[in-house]
Structure 1
Amino acid sequence: MSQNRRNLSERQVELLVGNLLRYGVLLASSVVLFGGVLYLIYHGKETPNYQIFRGEPPAFRSPEGVATSALSGRRRGIIQLGLLLLIATPVARVAFSLLAFIRQRDITYIILTLIVLTGLIISFIGG
């Protein structure tokens, strides 16, 4: 009975993780599409000037700035928010997997998942 219960629990975790990835990507894609459509409605007929390089505005250099920009209705902010959601989806998957392994008390996978999650967090902070 215990083994059957464990297999059911593992299967539930697999389904939850799969759904997390699926719906995370769908949400992120929808946000990017929405922002892109709004952007094209307002800027679609503009001719780009490729001779002048303009870097990313300061508002888009932090997650807080992106969220503020998106919540204020700026079209580029909405697109950037969708991209942040897309990046956050696999990170959330790793964090959720860590919680599942802690619940199952699987020390090997807890350690490995902590290493991966730490690497992801360091790359975001350092990058």
Structure 2
Amino acid sequence: MKKLLLLLMIAGLTNVIFADRAKAIASQKEILELAKKRHAIQSDNLEQRAQMIAAMEASPDAKGKDLKAKLQPFHDKLKANKAEIQKINESIKAKRKELRAMMQASKKKKEPVEDLTPQDGE
């Protein structure tokens, strides 16, 4: 769902005339690359969890400290991935904030359009 919202947001922002369109497009590409990186890390998390399950199945007699010792490398990797995902999410949030600021700045810079509709009594 978040990815769909991200893509819709990016698509909507490209329709707005920016003061610096090239900068906006570069920022959008950076957001997309960060999202791809986050997706790869999330895929790695799934792989780590599958390996954890396989390790548990391979040693059904392991309990307590033995099981914890076998699973610790997986937990460490998942913890590191979680921290990396949080950093990526913060970067994406900052980039989105920059894009919103550019969009608002471009709207403020637009010259007011003269109202040519007929007024009452004209």
TM-score range with shorter-chain normalisation? Answer: 0.3 to 0.5
Task: Give the number of the structure whose alpha-carbon radius of gyration is greater.
Answer: 2
* TM-score after normalising by structure 1: 0.38
